[in-house]
A and B are shown apart, each in its own frame.
Chain A
């Protein structure tokens, strides 16, 4: 059974009298523990689809089901609670909280969303920081970290609540190529370690090759879905 199902999803944006169709009749299924990429040029609808899957926005038409639950009718609070319990997010611009250290950034979802005890939090935060190789940098603030390090912290923050799905919108766009590949492979390693479904968007051909399933979007329509076999040696590079 698919973890995420989008059926005939469309999304229109209205800016004044201008009506823009960002997505048009997209249907897609994503299996648990998949490593999926949505690719396509700018304006193809990648971010919109990720936002709809992640309950950050609502479709104009169609139905989205996450883990068997229809999510398009959730109100703001229900959507927030659902996001906190089910999704982790990684952003292109990292969006770490500048006043918090790496440790505190990772701890943030546990404090604000999960309400776990300090000892439980500490154990989980240290574990994911170690998994992403940022344990030694845990006391540094975001402005003391490089782009790659920031995104590693962002990956840790996305994983710390043990979400079933991590959504990453252009996670490597602000990184140099070498760091980008390192981060995307880290994400896949985390998928392997935690069995978390990773869905990311990219327009970088090299990065999209790291995905096991590639869905191609163009002008708001899903034009191609491709399953790839990524060699273990390639994944471990």
Chain B
């Protein structure tokens, strides 16, 4: 077998320029796929990280029906203490869960004493929230930047940057929040602006923050209620199986009508970025299809040429006693060798490209988020599968010419001019 590959390599080297050009073309295809996968994967990973670690969390659990009407921030779909306790029991019993945090979502009127506007607020338990969204403070600017121990304290509010700019509010200013509770009565409280937060993509990315105790006071909750439970997993890669287990566990709880009491969603259902992520995956798949086409056409072309140029040689091989199977193996080996050379070259140059991109990081902005740095990476599993695809296509492209060579009648081949 080694001898066959040795002969195949020599046959490829017979037409150095053609082999080099074809190999270069396939190498470029592999390189493009590696760089695109690395960059798009990095972009996707960063954006998902931003969304889940800074604001949304990986999984959210609500009272059934909340998500479909979340734009109106309905207070009548909050979870009571008993419901929250049931959810906590489910989360505690699941080993994949790392942390969870209760939240109250509410809409309010924000006044700086001269202007008033609407604001969406996310009322959090800061100690629990940072465990679920560890990057939540990364996009916030505080008055006491370096000395601040807690994300937010009672009596404080953090407001979105665009809203702060529009209303000329700075950190440290006093504001009034006025909100309707679920019975329709209005209440207002004074707050100090502790910080300004940058917005992230999605409807939940434009929310301000307040302490969960303040929200209960503002909404005059007689008994503690929450809107949602944000969940973080120990390993993000286990999102789907963990979600399925949690969903199954929560499904056992029914409301008075006998229907499921809770609903659970991953970030994918809650963020519009999921559609962008799917588009990225589609583009990545398209790149692979283009690469497969390049490999297929290039190798098919080279191998067809190779067979037509060596008809007499094939005749001699056959006459000497080389079986059709071995003739086929010889030409298949040529296609595989060409593919292998290109895979090795493509992988080496691709990894070098990724390395260089990591040295000179690409800075970009997405939506209202600036100064995002792309650090592309590509896994060995991905490189392995990419190589398997190229190799398989190389074999497939060589099959027809190799089969044709093996089927040549020796007398016709020897008499070929």
Looking at the assembled complex, report how far the CB atom of A163 sits from the nearest CB atom of chain B, in whole angstroms.
Answer: 9
Partner of A83, one of B7, B13, B315, B319: B319
Partner of A76, one of B13, B14, B319, B324: B324
Size of interface on A: residues with Cβ below 8 Å to B: 28
- A84 at interface by CB-CB < 8 Å: yes
Docked CA distance A97–B11 (Å): 9
- B325 at interface by CB-CB < 8 Å: yes
1/0 contact string of B301-340 vs chain A (CB within 8 Å): 0000000000011011111111111100000000000000
Instruction: Decide if B7 touches A80 in the complex (CB within 8 Å).
Output: no
Within 374-417 of B, Cβ neighbours of A (below 8 Å) are at 409-411, 414
Partner of B321, one of A95, A97, A113: A113
A81-B316 contact given A56-B411, A99-B10, A99-B13, CB 8 Å threshold:
no
1/0 contact string of A75-101 vs chain B (CB within 8 Å): 011001111110101010101011110
Q: Which of B3, B312, B313, B323 lies at the interface centre, i.e. has the most chain A CB atoms within 10 A of its CB?
A: B323
Instruction: Decide if B325 touches A54 in the complex (CB within 8 Å).
Output: no
- Shortest Cβ distance from A101 into B: residue: B10
Within 351-369 of B, Cβ neighbours of A (below 8 Å) are at none
- Shortest Cβ distance from B317 into A: residue: A112
- Shortest Cβ distance from A13 into B: residue: B411
Instruction: Decide if A84 touches B321 in the complex (CB within 8 Å).
Output: yes
A98-B410 contact given A80-B324, A87-B321, CB 8 Å threshold:
no
Looking at the assembled complex, report how far the CB atom of B313 sits from the nearest CB atom of chain A, in whole angstroms.
Answer: 6
Instruction: Decide if A95 touches B313 in the complex (CB within 8 Å).
Output: yes
1/0 contact string of B111-139 vs chain A (CB within 8 Å): 00000000000000000000000000000
B14: chain A residues at CB < 8 Å are 98-99
Looking at the assembled complex, report how far the CB atom of A81 sits from the nearest CB atom of chain B, in whole angstroms.
Answer: 6
Instruction: Decide if A56 touches B321 in the complex (CB within 8 Å).
Output: no
- A171 at interface by CB-CB < 8 Å: no
Within 120-170 of A, Cβ neighbours of B (below 8 Å) are at 157, 161
Instruction: Decide if B11 touches A77 in the complex (CB within 8 Å).
Output: no
Partner of B325, one of A77, A91, A93, A100: A77
B320: chain A residues at CB < 8 Å are 83-84, 89, 108-109, 112-113, 157
Looking at the assembled complex, report how far the CB atom of A101 sits from the nearest CB atom of chain B, in whole angstroms.
Answer: 10
Partner of B414, one of A76, A95, A100, A109: A95
- Shortest Cβ distance from B13 into A: residue: A99
- Shortest Cβ distance from A118 into B: residue: B3
- A57 at interface by CB-CB < 8 Å: yes
Docked CA distance A81–B3 (Å): 19
Looking at the assembled complex, report how far the CB atom of A201 sits from the nearest CB atom of chain B, in whole angstroms.
Answer: 13
Docked CA distance A53–B324 (Å): 20
Instruction: Decide if B10 touches A81 in the complex (CB within 8 Å).
Output: no
Looking at the assembled complex, report how far the CB atom of B319 sits from the nearest CB atom of chain A, in whole angstroms.
Answer: 5
- Shortest Cβ distance from B312 into A: residue: A95
A91-B322 contact given A99-B10, A99-B14, A100-B10, CB 8 Å threshold:
no
A97-B313 contact given A56-B411, A91-B414, CB 8 Å threshold:
yes
Docked CA distance A170–B160 (Å): 93
Instruction: Decide if B321 touches A85 in the complex (CB within 8 Å).
Output: yes
A98: chain B residues at CB < 8 Å are 14, 313
Docked CA distance A87–B319 (Å): 9
B323: chain A residues at CB < 8 Å are 77, 80-81, 84
Instruction: Decide if B411 touches A83 in the complex (CB within 8 Å).
Output: no
A57-B411 contact given A98-B14, A99-B7, A100-B7, CB 8 Å threshold:
yes
B321: chain A residues at CB < 8 Å are 80-85, 87, 109, 112-113, 161
Instruction: Decide if B312 touches A112 in the complex (CB within 8 Å).
Output: no
Q: Chain A residues in contact with chain B, CB under 8 A?
A: 51, 54, 56-57, 76-77, 80-85, 87, 89, 91, 93, 95, 97-100, 108-109, 111-113, 157, 161
Q: Chain B residues in contact with chain A, CB under 8 A?
A: 3, 7, 10-11, 13-14, 312-313, 315-326, 409-411, 414
- Which 7 A-B residue pairings sit nearest by Cβ, starting from the closest? A84-B321, A95-B316, A99-B10, A113-B321, A83-B321, A80-B323, A56-B410
Could you give 26 example pairs across A and B, Cβ below 8 Å? Answer: A51-B411, A56-B318, A56-B319, A56-B410, A56-B414, A77-B323, A77-B325, A80-B321, A80-B323, A80-B324, A82-B321, A83-B319, A83-B320, A83-B321, A91-B414, A95-B316, A95-B414, A98-B313, A99-B7, A99-B10, A99-B13, A100-B7, A112-B317, A112-B321, A112-B326, A113-B320
Q: A56-B318, A84-B322, A97-B316 are in contact. List 15 more A-B contacts (CB 8 A).
A: A51-B411, A54-B319, A77-B323, A83-B319, A83-B321, A84-B320, A89-B319, A89-B320, A97-B7, A98-B313, A100-B7, A100-B10, A108-B320, A112-B322, A112-B326
